[in-house]
């Protein structure tokens, strides 16, 4: 059998079955389009968000010191509060109060607090030296929304 005869036979079969082949290709294209629409247009997973419990926390930090040495700005015996800087030459003691509380309706938390006093030497924005000294630490277990940690 020559190549020409085989080529003519293939052409004849394609011409005879071209309508059926075209119909099969159109059906395949329609099925593929329907399938891709189903994949992208419908959600297989339903998601539902439920807030089980909601809570927040807050802290309060207050500090003050009594002036023990007279200066141009402060008089001896005067109490200064919530200052960004306390000078060790003017005050001997720093009074600090810290409180932690939360607003969860149920349950309790364990709270650990470490308070440190930081000494720093700065020039402009540059920190030349720094030293931290522990002042106090506390730990409370089972702190409820009605109690607070101080």
> Residue 104: pLDDT band by 50, 70, 90 thresholds?
confident
Ranges of H-type helices in the chain: 3-41
Nearest CA among 86, 70, 138 for reference residue 78: 70
Write down the pLDDT at residue 126: 93
Q: Break the chain into its structural domains and give their ranges.
A: 1-47, 57-143
Read off the pLDDT of residues 8-57 as tens digits, 9 standing for 90 and up.
888 888 888 888 889 999 999 999 999 888 877 777 677 888 877 788 88
Q: Please, what sign has the CA dihedral across residues 36, 42, 46, 51?
A: positive
Residue 124 pLDDT exceeds 80: yes
Cross-sheet strand order for the sheet of 79-81:
79-81, 57-67, 91-102
- The reported pTM is 0.49
Most confidently modeled range among 4-8, 60-64, 96-100: 60-64
């Amino acid at each position: 059998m020559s190549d020409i005869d085989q080529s003519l036979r293939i052409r004849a079969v394609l011409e005879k079955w071209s309508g059926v082949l075209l119909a099969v290709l159109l059906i395949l294209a329609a099925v593929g389009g329907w399938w891709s629409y189903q994949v992208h247009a419908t959600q297989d997973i339903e998601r539902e968000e439920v807030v089980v419990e909601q809570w927040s926390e807050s802290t309060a930090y207050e500090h003050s010191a009594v002036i023990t040495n007279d200066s141009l700005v402060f008089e001896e015996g005067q109490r200064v509060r919530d200052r960004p800087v306390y000078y060790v030459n003017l005050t001997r003691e720093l009074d600090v109060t810290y409180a932690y509380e939360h607003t969860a309706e149920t349950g309790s938390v364990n709270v650990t607090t470490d308070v440190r006093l930081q000494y720093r030497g700065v020039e402009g924005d540059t920190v030349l030296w720094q030293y931290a000294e522990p002042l106090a630490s506390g730990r409370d277990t089972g702190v409820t929304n009605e109690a607070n940690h101080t």
